[in-house]
Amino acid sequence: MATQNPVDLDYKALSNAGTWFLGRLQTARDVDRMLDGLEGASSAAGKKFDAAKVRSLLGGLDSRVFLMNNVHEDEPILFHTRWALSYLAGPLTRPQIGALMADRKSGASTAASPAKAAQAGQAAATSEELPLTEEGVAVCFVEDGATSGAQYVPALHARAQLHYANAKKGIDEWTERTVLVPLGEGARSPSWDDWTISTERLSLVDAPANNARFGELPKVASKKESYPRWEKTLKTKLYQSQAIELFSHTPTKLHSEPGESRAAFMGRVQLALRERRDDDIESLRKKYAPKLARLEERIHKADEKVAREEAQ
């Protein structure tokens, strides 16, 4: 049996269990309810229960640490667990696939026939001369660790700051994105459909590696006037494609935070619902406590009356 809500527990049954585990509880009310239940059940069963020590241990529990009670042990002990790491990752992004296949690609090129190698060289024309650009066009190079012999392919690089704001939901979030858009040979504009976007910065340098070769830069990319127009296009595409998904729960009026997963948000919702339910139960108990006390008093008086009549 396992539960996340102390209200659900049968403490008398739990005190009779040979082994039980307690994890980190969310609220002080949960701790109090758990200790009251265990102490009462242990007293009824004639067992010793050190509430102060258990409270101290519960208050200091870290993640993946449990308080274990075993009938074969003299006192409760702390039980540590750990995560098991799985290497089955996925789905992979396009840059990750490229990084994983880099060695195989180079091996395949080395093993290619001379005819195929010549065709590949014709399809991706390169030059030892760095393409010229107008003054004011910023040029940089991706640093990949190669000291010489690198081959560069032209692309449009941008760093964008995205601002997500919603006063009603209390959201004011800034985040950065790295955008890389291919500049194909002879293209009149960047290949927007083939762009890659990530949260990681590229390692850039101002100068290329020694003995490098360069892909052909489209003429339009060498002109300074092209970039303000592309900047507007990029802003539009980012606005249209980089929306964030937020979750809401009407009964509790809770909203998810940017980047918060559905599972994490539902965990907060369940905690809020549980606390609301506990408050409702406590309110009902207080409401009906006087009535129950009066009924118990009437029953007690009736029992005394019956006892007196039987004695006569």
pLDDT in tens, 234-268: 999 999 988 888 899 999 989 898 888 888 899 99
Cβ contact 203:157 at 8 Å: no
Q: Is the pTM of this model over 0.75?
A: no
Dihedral sign, Cα of residue 89, residue 93, residue 95, residue 100: positive
Residue 162: is its pLDDT beyond 70? yes
pLDDT digits (tens, 9 = 90+) for 170-224: 888 898 999 998 887 666 788 888 888 888 888 888 888 888 888 888 888 889 8
Cβ contact 230:189 at 8 Å: yes
Average pLDDT over residues 29-50: 74
The Cα–Cα gap between 308 and 302 comes to: 10
pLDDT (0 to 100) of residue 75: 77
pLDDT (0 to 100) of residue 236: 92
pLDDT (0 to 100) of residue 118: 28
pLDDT (0 to 100) of residue 232: 92
* 4-8, 42-46, 54-58, 116-120: least confidently modelled range: 116-120
Inter-axis angle of helices 51-59 and 28-44, nearest 10: 150
pLDDT (0 to 100) of residue 210: 85
